[in-house]
Every structure is written in structure tokens, then in C-alpha cells.
Structure 1
Amino acid sequence: MSKVMNVNSSLAYEILLYLNSFYLGMFFVCEVAMGILKACNANYPENALMTEAGIFGLLCLVEVPVFFSILLTIPSAVGVCYFLIYQTYILRLEYIWCSVMLIFQALELAFAILFIFTVCKNHQGG
């Protein structure tokens, strides 16, 4: 029974990482496009546009290595939350993109923790 749980949690985690790899590219392209749209059509306060571009650049740097380290999911989720809640102008479509990204990150983290617990349980019991 524990081997079945180990395989299922590992498979679910791998599937989520695979799906997130596709969604990640689409997310970044859409955010860049919407950022350009807002930069051309909205009046940003002084340095707000550069601040948001910098945070987006950091998010890009943090999100790519998420595949290699579960620990980086937390700062990545904080970056997505910034775009979901705190950026100067937020489009409805951004709420959707950011919400889906947070769901992927939460599921990845949950299945990674489940996978770690099942692997540790197997090593202790057998």
C-alpha cells in the first residue's frame, strides 16, 4: 500500500511540474504583454513601472529554478501575490493568470511534501 502511495504522489508531483512548465511560459508572455499595454495606456506614479518590472524580473529568476528546489516556491508565490494584489494597475485577466499560477504552486508544494513524507515513511518502515 505504501509503494502505491509513493508512486501516486510522485506521479502527481511530476505531472504538476510538467504542466507548470507550459503554464509558466504562457504566464510570463502574458504578463510582459499586459505590462507593455499598461505602460502605454496608464499613467504610473514615479518609479512604479520600473519597480514592477524589477519585481517581475526577480519573479522570472525565482520561478525557473522552482523545478530544482521546492524551497523557492515560497518567494515565487510571494512574487505572484504581488502581481495579484499590490501592483499599481491590475487587469481582470491578471487575476485569473495569477490565481492559476498560485494554484499550481500550492499543488506542487502539497504533492512535494506528500512525496517527501511517503519516501521518509518507506525508509523508516522498511
Structure 2
Amino acid sequence: MGSSLTLQILLYLSTFYFGMFMLCEFGLLIFKGMHLPYPSSGMWIDGILLILLGVIESFRLLEGQKANLTNMQNRMAVSLALCIPSSLAVIYFAAWQNYVLRLELILCIIQLGMQLIEFVLGAVELIGR
């Protein structure tokens, strides 16, 4: 069975959206630190979590693309497993931080939607192999 073109296109587009998402989140974190009474410990937690999200999501997207092209089940399983902490981090930015801006909520909902679709398509590919 060959690779899924739909999944590959979505993973490719996700790399660009995630780059924009990270830039926006970083900019919004700086904005909130400058203009809102943000606790310093919360700022550090959000910054570290944003860096961890960047590492996890980048690795997840890379593994997903490689797994889809090479039809390797173990890499697809790793990509699907990394979807869970990545989604939890995005949910944190959408709902659990001290201040959530409307723009941030919209960006997080789009990111979660893309992750959900990628997870479903990846699971279908993994089961179908």
C-alpha cells in the first residue's frame, strides 16, 4: 500500500502553519508580558512550554512525513503518540494560561483542528498497513 497523498499534503502545509503559529504565539507572549500584569513565573512557564511545543511538534511533523513516505509503522506510531503532548500544549495555550487573547484562541483552534485531522488520517494509514 502506498503513502497517503492527503496526509502528506496536510503534514506539509502544517509545517508552514506551525511556523506562523509559533511566531504569533511568541509575539503574543511578548505583548502580554509588556502590556498585561503577567506574573513572572507564568511568563517563564509559558515560554518554556512554547519551546517544548516547538520541539515536539517539529519532530512529530518530520516523523509523520517520513513515515508516510517510507510506509514505516513504527515511525507513524511515534508521530501519533507525539500528537498527544503537542495537542495538550496547544490546549494549554488556548484555555489554561493566565490571559488568552481572541487571536490566540483562533490560532489554537485551527492548530488543534489540523492535528486532529492528521491524527485521524495517520491512524487510518497505520491500521490500513
Q: If the length of structure 1 is used for normalisation, what is the TM-score?
A: 0.84
Residue number among 36, 41, 52 corresponding to 2:35 in the alignment: 41
Confirm or deny: 8 A CA contact 2:7 2:121 kept in the other structure: yes
Residue 18 in structure 1 maps to residue 47 in structure 2:
no
Higher relative contact order (CA 8 A, sep 6+): 1
Deviations 1:6-56 (A, max 9, x none): 66xx11111110110110110001011111111110111241111111111
Matched, 1:106 2:122: no
Q: Distance in 2 between matches of 1:40 and 1:60?
A: 23
Q: Which residue of 2 aligns with 1:122?
A: none
Question: Structure 1 regions of 5+ residues with no counterpart?
Answer: 120-126
Larger Rg: 1
Where do 4+ consecutive residues of structure 1 move more than 4 Å? none
Q: Which runs of 5+ in 2 are unaligned?
A: 64-78
Deviation sequence 1:76-118 (CA, Å, 0-9, x none): 0000000011011110000100000000100001000111122
CA RMSD between the two structures: 1.3
Counterparts of residues 1-126 of structure 1 (less than 5 Å): 10-67=4-61, 68=63, 69-119=79-129
Letter in 1 for 2:54: C
Residue pair 2:80, 2:123 contacting (<8 A) in 1 also: no
Q: Aligned residues: percent identity?
A: 35
